[in-house]
A and B are shown apart, each in its own frame.
Chain A
Amino acid sequence: MKAEIQALLAALEAEGYVTEPATATAVFLSREMRKPLLVEGDAGVGKTELAKVLARLLGTELIRLQCYEGLDVQTALYEWDYPRQLLRLRLSEGRGEDPQQIEARIFSREYLLERPLLRAITRPDQPPVLLIDEVDRADDGFEAFLLELLSDLQVTIPELGTIRAAHPPYVVLTSNRTRELGDALRRRCLYLYIDHPSLEKEVRIIRTRWPEAEERLARQVGRFLQALRARPLVKSPGVAETLDWTQALVTLRQGSLEPEVVTQTLGCLLKDRHDLETITPSEVASLVALAREESP
């Protein structure tokens, strides 16, 4: 493995993000090739977290744009501060100023409200990390706009002219695949798929994030989760759920898995009525027995 990728993997882990070499490789390539990184994977595998950790690692600002259906350019890119413009207009008119000067003034950067996308390309000092979260939730029209922005890294504001990125940001897009992304956007990015972690990884993640959890408990939780994910579930629990559950178990001062406690806290892991019905107390008992095997 290339030394830089190795170092990146270690650095990610030092920031509390335990991951696979593929993730480090993808981040490294995205940084070196200056291409946005599209991250896909089930909910709760740490897609958003990756961008956050990356920003911490680079010592730069994280600018986040949460996508949703109906997201428009005014919320994502920029907007004029109309109330202030009106106020300025009234004041200047009262003083009898030159109309052309007034216009130039109220359509200056001073009256421009920067939204995440514009802010991401106008940072003067260093490139930020731009996280475009759940891009699949925005509509197709917004996706097309995003594509244009990502390829040109410039924005044209009719009243102001074209603003070019001083420092191209590091771009991370995440998608839960609620909608298939357009091919053009996909091709613009490098692609990383984050899977559920292996047992070893998961135990290390638990130990890193909840050092209070005893080694034995962490191993049992890991084994329990691996076994649980093998079941046919509507919503497989992700790492986020594992950590929530570990926190619950630590709060309840559990040193190892007990069927009753597991049953009572199953809501931390399973967030679907049907799944909760599928995993009956007797299922829990057998899963717990499986998880406790091999550990003293």
Chain B
Amino acid sequence: MTDLPLRLARLGRALRSAGVATTLRDELDAAAALALVDREDREEVRRAVRIALRIAREDFETYDRLFEGFWHGEPEAAPVAPRPRREPPVLPRGRALHWDPDTRRMGTESRVSPRGERPGYSPEALLRRKRFDEDWSARDLARMERLLARLARRLATRRSRRLVPTRGRGRADVRSSYRRALRTSGELLSLARRTRAVETPRVVFLLDTSGSMDAHGRFLLTFALSLRRAVPRAEVFAFNTELVRLTRSLAPGKVRVTLDRLAASVPDWSGGTRIGACLAEFYAEHLARGPAGKTVVVVLSDGLDRGDAAALAEAVRRIQGRARKLVWLNPLLGDPRYEPAAGGMRAALPFVDHFASAHDLESLERLGPHLAG
């Protein structure tokens, strides 16, 4: 193979256009590797180039296909469709979810409800127990949003196992203490201390925006958005019949603006909620591609699925297998009469690490230790 550099460059280019990242340096390494192996042995060349180009397991198939062109020295490999990058799809606007300024709710239709304004002052304690699906005055709503933001900030921190020096309280650090003592000719004057570093968790929110959830939607979304501001690594998805990644379309700003924008991008629910399909897509397209065991996945849904319960169970099981923890928040749980009898919910339950209610602020507060876990 006299035209080896050319062929390698072509292979590298074909790989890149197929969505497999390779760099010039990888190609140089591949050339070096080829100098070391039996270049008549096709299988050996295939293996050596794969190792040197650092082709990851999930790209083996693409590589094997493009390798043919490399081996036969085809002038230009057939263009390969790039791996589709998922963008929030442009969706048909049916009965789109919208933000209703009168009722201050997200809904699919204007819901006119008697607006019983409460007395102006409402103590925090009352707010904390007020159900999300009750009627809210404008003032209470604003207070509630502030409370949610504060809660989100508090939840956004996690103690890591890593120890970092601290001036405050913590475990005595003998090593540093000795080191300090050397400065004072061996006199141990003060103890150095270490404490566990503060880390921000990787959290993903999956919000059910179907009609049965819209009474709670606003608060849960506010909560998710506040958390997103506090934790840059938090991701937010919305789903009902389709899964839409919201993270990128969420500019930091007022919740109100964001909600309006969301209403335009989240598809209609008239086909019924397809929780199982959406969760399966979330697993395949996002969770499985990321690192395992690092992400806390929070599903906010009532579990009223129109799809196949077995498919839902399978999706939830897979998510739990790859997540650090799977938390399912179900607003219906706030109702003492509720039993998770909905087919989908019951199927999913065995694979949920923490199943809790999310009908008021107090219930969200109890989420703290589970998010951090």
Knowing A5-B44, A72-B162 are in contact, say whether A40-B29 is a contact too (CB < 8 A). Answer: no
- What are 16 contact pairs spanning A and B, CB under 8 A? A2-B37, A21-B44, A22-B47, A26-B51, A28-B37, A29-B37, A38-B54, A69-B161, A70-B161, A80-B179, A139-B162, A183-B21, A187-B23, A187-B25, A234-B321, A274-B351
A residues bordering B, Cβ < 8 Å? 1-2, 5, 21-22, 25-26, 28-29, 32-33, 35, 38, 40, 68-70, 72, 74, 79-80, 82-83, 85-86, 89-90, 93, 106, 136, 139, 177-180, 183, 186-187, 189-193, 195, 232, 234, 274
Instruction: Decide yes or no whether B353 CB sits under 8 A from chain A.
Output: no
CB distance from B325 to the nearest CB of A (A): 14
As a 0/1 sequence over residues 279 to 321 of chain B, the CB contacts with chain A under 8 angstroms (1 = contact) are 0000000000011111000000000000000000010010001
Do residues B182 and A85 form an inter-chain contact, with CB atoms below 8 A? yes
CB distance from B137 to the nearest CB of A (A): 46
Instruction: Decide yes or no whether B114 CB sits under 8 A from chain A.
Output: no
For A177, list chain B residues within 8 Å (CB): 291-292
Interface residues of B in 20-70 (CB under 8 A from A): 21, 23, 25-26, 29, 32-33, 36-38, 41, 43-44, 47-48, 50-52, 54-57, 60
B161 to A, closest residue via Cβ: A70
Knowing A89-B182, A178-B294 are in contact, say whether A25-B23 is a contact too (CB < 8 A). Answer: no
For A68, list chain B residues within 8 Å (CB): 161
Do residues A179 and B291 form an inter-chain contact, with CB atoms below 8 A? yes
B interface: dominant SS: helix
B residues bordering A, Cβ < 8 Å? 21, 23, 25-26, 29, 32-33, 36-38, 41, 43-44, 47-48, 50-52, 54-57, 60, 160-163, 174-175, 178-179, 181-182, 185-186, 290-294, 314, 317, 321, 350-351
Knowing A29-B33, A70-B162, A82-B182 are in contact, say whether A180-B291 is a contact too (CB < 8 A). Answer: yes
Do residues A89 and B185 form an inter-chain contact, with CB atoms below 8 A? yes
CB distance from A140 to the nearest CB of B (A): 11
CB distance from A217 to the nearest CB of B (A): 31
Do residues B175 and A82 form an inter-chain contact, with CB atoms below 8 A? yes
Do residues A33 and B179 form an inter-chain contact, with CB atoms below 8 A? no
CB distance from A250 to the nearest CB of B (A): 32
Knowing A2-B41, A74-B175, A187-B23 are in contact, say whether A93-B185 is a contact too (CB < 8 A). Answer: yes
In the complex, A93→B290 CA distance in Å?
57
Do residues A83 and B178 form an inter-chain contact, with CB atoms below 8 A? yes
Interface centre among A26, A29, A69 (most CB of B within 10 A): A29
Give which listed residue, A70, A180, A183, contacts B163 with CB less than 8 A: A70
For B60, list chain A residues within 8 Å (CB): 193
B34 to A, closest residue via Cβ: A29
B199 to A, closest residue via Cβ: A139
Knowing A69-B160, A85-B182, A180-B290 are in contact, say whether A2-B44 is a contact too (CB < 8 A). Answer: yes
For A183, list chain B residues within 8 Å (CB): 21
